[in-house]
Amino acid sequence: MSKAHARFSPSRLEKLSVCPCFQYREAIGGGDSPDANEGRLLHSAAENENTKGLTEEQANAVNFVLGVISSIKAGLSPDVLDFKETRIEIPDLTFGFADRVMLDLKTRRGLVADYKFGRKVVTEARDNFQVQAYVTGVFLSNPEIDKITGYILAPRCPGDEVSSHEFDRSIVQATCDRIDKLYDGLDDPFKKPRAEDSELCALCRNNSRCPEVGATAVLVARSMGLPMPENFRPDAIVSARDRLTGQLIAGALETWSEQVKKNNLEFVNSGGDIPGLNKRTRSLGVRLPKENTVVGLKALVDAGYATMEQALGAASLTLGELARIGTELHGSKEVEEKELIKEILDGLTTEGTTCYLQKAKSSDIKALLG
């Protein structure tokens, strides 16, 4: 073995097997991303079997994995050994914490479960590097176990919520060899990135200077007949001309990608099939439509859930909507109503702003680019 001293966790091994140059990008403003924070929150809820404080959708996700685990456990021996968030180690290679491990010594079988609370479909259990590493670690520390079933539970991926595979001890040497080979590749000073997974690339801190990502953008830009900057690496674009051409290419790629996604969704909605893509629907959150606001507030008060003042504290007013009501009542222009509302609510309102770069006239741009 390479004696790598457990350089990376099993979850990181899975990502590094896709691209040897992957590094997590820091969240804007520092700290962890909202997705990472939510992931820890839901894993903690599952470990403690307590969904207090979660939204309905989050609680449903946690209850799903707990329900699957409960069903599996019901089919095992009453004295099965059950571990939550337990440390798993492959000496000198990797260690991490598995969400659930069960050992049935009577049948010499075990279970390893990994919870995935994200919305990205992950590699199935049979081929999942993280699952293989956890299973290998359990085999190494429990010689009395002959078979282990690895589970991936992904409640936010409809159709792929449960993936499982039964492993025997042959996985131990295969996984150790795979990790050794991966570490050897990571130590290669000439290793090259692989832009094979766009969602993984989006999480990588090297994204802005990755030659593979840049090469993809160059290919698309050239095929669209767009002007090219002298240097395509985003962090190396410094001249005014390159900044302009980069902005034009970015806008074109955004427009193109949105149109492609829109057309593909329309194609699938009309009965078409795109192998490799599965249609998914997820909740955007429950809201009370404005036409039901009065009735909804009254229902909360009548049920004793909250006072009217408390209920209104959870609501917000949109000046545009109020202004449109005002135009109907006063027969005035909407812009006048907005100004009147601002005067009445002086010091109580806030106004958000956004900054963006607007493209100049085409003739001006042609002149600038020569």
Question: Torsion angle, CA of 207/210/213/217, rounded to 10 degrees?
Answer: 100
Structural tokens at position 324: 């449109």
Task: Give the separation between CA 130 and CA 36, rounded to whole angstroms.
Answer: 17
For residue 290, is pLDDT > 70?
Answer: yes
Please give the pLDDT value at position 4: 46
Contacts of 251 (CB under 8 A, 6+ apart): 359
pLDDT in tens, 25-55: 765 444 567 888 899 999 999 999 999 999 9
Determine the distance from the C-alpha atom of residue 96 to the mean position of all C-alpha atoms in its chain, rounded to a whole number: 20
Q: What is the mean pLDDT of residues 220-225?
A: 67
Domain spans of the chain, in order of start: 10-186, 216-269, 290-344
User: What's the predicted TM-score (pTM) here?
Assistant: 0.65
Task: Give the separation between CA 110 and CA 102, rounded to whole angstroms.
Answer: 5
Q: CATH classification of 10-186 is 3.90.320, yes or no?
A: yes
For residue 233, is pLDDT > 80?
Answer: no
Average model confidence (pLDDT) for the chain?
85
Strand partners for 204: 24
Residue type, 147: K
Please give the pLDDT value at position 134: 97
Q: 125: exposed, middle or buried (C-beta count within 10 Å: 0-12, 13-18, 19+)?
A: buried
For residue 231, is pLDDT > 70?
Answer: no
Task: Give the separation between CA 298 and CA 305, rounded to whole angstroms.
Answer: 10
Structural tokens at position 115: 């919870």
Please give the pLDDT value at position 3: 43
Q: What is the mean pLDDT of residues 122-140?
A: 95
Please give the pLDDT value at position 1: 36
The pLDDT > 90 percentage for the chain reads 42
Question: Strands (DSSP E) along the chain, which ranges?
Answer: 81-90, 94-104, 109-115, 147-153, 162-167
The answer to whether 65 and 46 have CB atoms below 8 angstroms apart is: yes
